[in-house]
A and B are shown apart, each in its own frame.
Chain A
Amino acid sequence: MSTGERLVIVGGGMAAARLVELLLARDHTGTITVLSDEQYPPYNRILLSAVLDGTHRIESLPLHGAAWYADRGVDLRLGVRVVGLDRERREVQVADGDPVPYDRLVLATGLVPTLPPMRGLLDAEGRLDDRVHAFRDLDDCRRLLDAVPHARRAAVVGGGLLGLQVARGLAARGVEVEIVEGADHLMRHQLDAAAGRILVRDLRRLGTEVYCNARAVRLTDEGVVLDNGYLLEVDLVVITAGGRPSVALARAAGLAVGRGVVVDDRLTTDDPRIHALGDCAEHDGRTPGFVSPAWEQAEVLADVLCGVAAARYEGSRIVARLRARDLEVAVLGDPEHTEGERVEVSNPLTRSHRTLVMREGRIVAAALVGDLSRVGLITQHFDRGTRLAPQEAGLLLLGDPAPAADLAAALGDSAEVCACAGVSAGEIRACASLDDVVRCTRATTGCGGCAPTVRQLLAGRALEGKGVTR
């Protein structure tokens, strides 16, 4: 990009923040303006549920303060609502202000929460009922935290990743929670029915009721009415029914729009001056909707904007981790829609169900529920495309066998007991006492780590002397 070009970024979420960081790191030469409709400088949106469950204090959410942007010459404008694009004049139109001219434009407008078709959500003026909350941004989070002390029971509408996190967060704050999910199991986009059923059992055990195959159809003064006729008597409703890429601006400006704003491998729309990334962008038919792909896109787009001709986005591997107390879930890739051989280990007794989807020896997707003991290694193999031997997938799911009983008696006479002094079990057995050991072999006198084994060996020797066989 040549000196002096004006870059305007619409949106102030995590994708936009990352892009700005990367542009600065690459010594981007033009001006950067960020138009955010929120009141806050970019913050860690994905940790809002951790704020809700009390493990993350709200003061630690910001990624950078406003001064950080100002010090680096980035014009961060908060509370700005973008209402239109004029591609001819190359201007962004904003509510209550002058148009913002651009040479390059980046759309990072994110998602808009989906409202389920539920009567009574909105009042006559089109405002959400006071009891109803979304959980998308910091204001939503603050508003929900304010409401929690006055709430006794809550319904969470939508049993996906976010719904479960919110449900557990509310429970951590002493609210009784019920989850309503339209599909036949929880996390239906990521998990199969068996895994989803384990989550239902887990939640019930934790005191949260779950209604699957149920739709919330109406909000009344009494609570939420389900399509099966149940009435959930709640004083709080959190809508976590997913979201849609925010494409209204792009569509109105005549850009190609599918589910999201359509971009090519250079993250460029059909207008060469306009790019999109993150939750609002559709690449190769997909709108992943997680932070890590958005950040990988930011790396590519920062290169593109700094004139790196070879920069290409080739899709992302996604690892989704449920961030909720006492629920163990990791989803790697898209296990429900990925072709391959499925290796499964299910143990209802431990409430665990784990699936690896293998293709040509590689883990191409996985769903781990209830047992994350090997999640670190499985994720490494998945991310790196490691080619495994046929037996490894099973070993990864079965875990390590219990270590053999570590009895000193099992040590052969030639086994080394003291590494510091190089002393074998036989040499220890030849000694009469610990003093004898120290004097004759120097075992135990270096790091001291062999002392317990030496004591056991000496004790075993004493038993032998009394005619007890080893």
Chain B
Amino acid sequence: MTRTHCPYCSLQCGMALERVGRTLEVQAWPEFPVNEGALCRKGWTATGLRGHRERLTTPLLRGADGEFRPADWEEALDHVASRLRSLRTAHGNDAVAVFGGGGLTNEKAYQLGKFARVALGTSQIDYNGRWCMSSAASAGNRVFGVDRGLPFPLADLERADVVVLVGSNLAETMPPAARHLDRLRERGGRVVVLDPRRTPTAERADLFLQPVPGTDLAVALGVLHLLDAADALDDAYLAERVEGFDAVLRSVASWWPERVERVSGVPVAELRALADLLASSPRVMVLTARGAEQHAQGTDTVLAWINIALGLGMVGRDAAGYGCLTGQGNGQGGREHGQKADQLPGYRMIDDPAARAHVAGVWGVEPDTLPGKGRSAYELLDALGTSEGPKAMLVFGSNIVVSAPNATRIGERLDALDLLVVCDLVLSETAARADVVLPVTQWAEETGTMTNLEGRVLLRRQAVAPPDGVRSDLEVLAGLAERLDAPVPFSVDPAEIFAELGRASAGGVADYAGITYERIEAEHGVFWPCPAPAHPGTPRLFADGFPTPSGRARAQVVAHRGPAEPVDDDFPVHLTTGRVLAQYQSGAQTRRIRALPDDGVFVEMHPMLAARIGAVDGAPVVVRTRRGELKAPARVVATVRPDTVFVPFHWVGANRLTHDALDPSSRMPEFKVCAAAVSA
């Protein structure tokens, strides 16, 4: 039996894998504290991809006739290396881009960043985590001087008095986490949910607010206004631990509740109920997720909710404060070790000379050889194949065709590349458009660490041998590095790479130097920062101060601007997107697991809207935006706002509709709201 963690979301539920005959069975691992043996159906069925008939086991090269043909690994890697070499010679190092994923292990994320900077010498690397929790990351860095999704263990939720979930449907997206909410309520605590849809999470709420998509920020400004008006803020805490809060208070003075009601659609009585609840609760926890963050004002929205947690004096208090519920499996670790265009391992910034010197030292190269900051994910994709942009791209752990916003445009950019190389388990929609597809190992077939939403570093041990013909992403990188005459060798051994990652991160914000595989197994994970073997790790941050120059949190003034694309006569309803329980991300894995229901894409709408356009439950409707259109069955439910439609994003379609306006700070696209027209 092998103890490991689920291949999907950021909860990284503990599970055990056991071989029974020829099959691999998922079993509970009750001792692991985050999920205590509970799993959702995605976890229980996670081994369904093993031996799947669609599993790729040989590299594919696209021939002159436009069709794929099988190739052996030597030929495939030689081909890729020689094409990369000639494109770099013709157009410079930045002609090659690398696109990673928030599902890759820390070892892969680290190695990918190193490969881009050292073997390719390109600045053009980013990853799909940019589309996940980057707004919360940006906000956390600005206020607290550090970005760790939850600065406390998830189980602390149970001991709070009020948990406010802003744009999180955790009961569907990470079901075992909802147990903590239930225990909180059994204790007499309260749950508040803000969401344009009354989700299964909202069904658990004591107070549910249903704002217009794109107005969570205005709601936060209004709640802080009410708290200040009622003299409910913690003045002593603010004086001691926070900078800039006076300016914040003046900025919310003009957000009286009736104004917020008009902007957000949330009635004044509900705003007051929330403020009253927060004002009267000793321990308040505010948690944001993609609903709040995936906006062109996502960072500001998070900052506004952080201001509430700061104003109440909650950040750093036991069982209270602010946190982000990260989405992807390694959304946290994936952003700490160099996959991001502006970062080096240990959450170091690539434009910091000291950080460059340290990391270059670990890598055995000169600091001057490291490239600078590259384009963010969407900007990178948007530049592909243009005269200024990259001519080739290597993709690891991402299905861009399904998950990028304004996907029709991005599909065109992918097609404009001279060379697209995709590493995947199956022929994903993105792999199907590639010039070269490299079949790689999956989850149970390889070892590596993940950092879950709590900042807890976990170990996934290899449970089974990979099928013949597939290689690990690490082997792909090493093979290419060698063929490209990289100045230093690239290891293929996860433990060795993790040790190197530890050295590279030493002294950085996300310091892994004291973490080993053995410690992770013995301690049920280790929380970073953990700078030395004798250090216990850091389950809780901020009790004594913030890692800012002054040691105080830096509160930020933010203004509400509203969605980048307001509704109008031609596109009169808001479109928002999200997940369903049985699918994960682009669905490349979950859609192929037979035990998971694949109902396909649908358009969720309120009966009033359905009646307006003559839509019938189950019959097709057409959703149009300025960027594309989608035909799918209507799902008529009273739980969504009557002025909003919801489309899940696991299938090709939703992201042909979405808007590519970017957050100025996090470069997060506005996935969660745009203007649409719906017709039957």
Contact = CB atoms under 8 A, between A and B. Distances in A.
A321 interface: yes
A50 interface: yes
A464 B379 CA distance: 63
Given A321-B261, A323-B258, A376 B266 contact: yes
Interface residues of B, number: 56
Interface string B227-241: 011110000000000
Contacts of A292: 259, 262
B572 interface: yes
A55 B253 contact: no
Contact of A376 (B249, B254, B267, B572): B267
A68 B250 contact: yes
B572 A384 contact: yes
Nearest to A328: B269
Interface string B554-572: 0000000000000111001
Interface in A25-75: 43-44, 46-47, 50, 55-57, 59-65, 68
Given A380-B212, A449-B171, A449-B203, A372 B267 contact: yes
A427 to B, nearest CB: 13
A420 B256 contact: no
A446 interface: yes
A402 to B, nearest CB: 12
B638 interface: yes
Nearest to A403: B638
Given A376-B267, A379-B265, A381-B643, A448 B229 contact: no
Nearest to B610: A389
A46 B267 contact: no
Interface stretch (B33-41, B102-110, B464-472): B33-41
B643 A377 contact: yes
Contact of A62 (B44, B253, B268, B269): B253
B228 A376 contact: no
Interface string B37-49: 1111100100000
B642 A446 contact: no
Contacts of A62: 250, 253
Interface in A423-467: 442, 445-449
Given A64-B250, A446-B40, A50 B258 contact: no
A285 B641 CA distance: 37
Contacts of A372: 267-269
Given A388-B612, A448-B179, A60 B44 contact: no
Interface string B197-236: 0001001100000001000000000000100111100000
A422 interface: yes
A419 B581 contact: yes
A400 interface: yes
A141 to B, nearest CB: 14
B390 interface: no
SS of A interface (majority): loop
Contacts of B264: 376
Interface string B247-287: 10110011010110110111111000000000000000000
Contact of A375 (B177, B267, B569): B267
Q: Which of B37, B228, B608, B641 has the most CB of A within 10 A?
A: B608
Contact of A385 (B172, B569, B642): B569
B63 to A, nearest CB: 42
B41 A44 contact: no
Contacts of A389: 608, 611-612
Nearest to B28: A445
Contacts of A396: 608
A220 interface: no
Contacts of B502: none
A386 interface: yes
B572 A60 contact: no
Interface centre among B204, B212, B254, B582 (most CB of A within 10 A): B254
A220 B247 CA distance: 48
A61 B250 contact: no
Interface in A326-354: none
B536 interface: no
Contacts of A376: 261, 264-267
A130 interface: no
B517 to A, nearest CB: 29
Given A55-B229, A57-B231, A321-B258, A448 B178 contact: yes
A323 B258 CA distance: 8
B176 interface: yes
A379 B176 contact: no
A392 B609 CA distance: 9
Contacts of B567: 384, 386
Contacts of A420: 39-41, 175, 581
A323 B264 CA distance: 18
A421 B44 contact: yes
A387 B39 contact: no
Interface string A248-284: 0000000000000000000000000000000000000
Nearest to B209: A376
A247 to B, nearest CB: 26
Contacts of A392: 608, 611-612
B182 interface: yes
Interface string B567-606: 1110010000000011000000000000111000000000
Contacts of A400: 638
Contact of B41 (A43, A380, A391, A422): A422
A373 interface: yes
A446 B258 CA distance: 40
Nearest to B581: A419
Contacts of B175: 419-420, 446-447, 449
B331 to A, nearest CB: 20
Contacts of B267: 372-373, 375-376
A379 B572 contact: no
Nearest to A17: B254
Contacts of A407: none
A419 B200 contact: yes
Interface in A214-230: none
Contact of A379 (B177, B203, B262): B262
A449 B567 CA distance: 36
Contacts of B37: 445
Nearest to A387: B572
Contacts of A60: 225, 228-229, 231, 249, 253
B250 A63 contact: yes
B41 A446 contact: yes
Given A60-B249, A386-B572, A420-B581, A447 B40 contact: yes
Contacts of B28: 445
B597 A422 contact: yes
Contacts of A63: 250, 253-254
Contacts of B596: 422
Interface string A360-376: 00000000000011011
B122 to A, nearest CB: 37
A395 interface: yes
Given A63-B253, A379-B261, A447 B41 contact: no
B41 A395 contact: no
A376 B263 CA distance: 9
A103 interface: no
A60 B225 CA distance: 8
Given A60-B228, A446-B176, 12 more contacts: A46-B256, A57-B230, A60-B229, A292-B262, A321-B268, A376-B267, A384-B568, A387-B572, A421-B41, A446-B40, A447-B176, A449-B204
15 contacts: A43-B253, A55-B229, A56-B229, A62-B253, A68-B250, A376-B267, A377-B642, A380-B265, A384-B568, A388-B612, A400-B638, A421-B41, A442-B44, A445-B37, A449-B204
Interface of A: 14, 43-44, 46-47, 50, 55-57, 59-65, 68, 292, 319, 321, 323, 372-373, 375-377, 379-381, 383-389, 391-392, 395-396, 400, 419-422, 442, 445-449
- A-B complex: 4 closest residue pairs judged by Cβ atoms: A447-B175, A376-B265, A447-B178, A321-B258
